[in-house]
Structure 1
């Protein structure tokens, strides 16, 4: 009985205070933050800046792959001319990429 009681008290004197149990979870969270969450937040910030800098006459590509020139900009919508006399209204977040000037002339 005495040796059994002695073995139980040896575990209670853990100098780390149970930190070693949570260390793997802390490391996994740090790795997830660095590899997944942080780059996604950076990309969202860049996309927001792209939408704020959008101006009339810019050549854009939508998320659906439609290429055209911006004709009119509202708060939530953008009118894109995809062919002569053909205009499409898309939501601002649907703009995925702003092309360099003159790209549509080469198509």
Structure 2
């Protein structure tokens, strides 16, 4: 009474190959948009972070991922020694350095 009858679609009414392509078009467009909005900027940020870590040198002022501010006292392959106060040095992993500050930012050290 309230439900209409459902009939099978005949073979002549099928959309064929063109219909399959148009059904995947929104999925393809979403992937392209996701690439340009999410994946590509993340790769760019990772490349900039790696270049910054490779360019670390003694005397640079940095901020770590934990929020510590300090001057670079020594740089090795995997670790950086930071001077966080007069005579107080800590060793952190190189990957934990997130920001390279402009010279003269930390005048109290």
TM-score using structure 2 length: 0.85
Trace 1:54-69 onto structure 2 (pairs within 5 A).
54-69=56-71
How far the C-alpha of 1:15 sits from its partner, in A, is 5.4
Matched residues, number: 103
Where does residue 8 of structure 1 map in the other structure? 11
Alpha-carbon distance between aligned partners in 2 of 1:85 and 1:56, rounded to the nearest angstrom = 15
Among 83, 89, 92, the residue aligned to 2:91: 89
How far the C-alpha of 1:34 sits from its partner, in A, is 0.9
Spell out, residue by residue over 1:2-46, the C-alpha distance to the aligned partner (whole angstroms, 9 max, x if none).
xx9x932231x6351610121111011011111111111110000
TM-score using structure 1 length: 0.87
Structure 2 stretches of 5 or more lacking a match?
Answer: 1-6
Matched, 1:35 2:44: no
Q: Give structure 1 regions of 4+ aligned residues with deviation exceeding 4 angstroms.
A: none
Alpha-carbon distance between aligned partners in 2 of 1:7 and 1:58, rounded to the nearest angstrom = 74
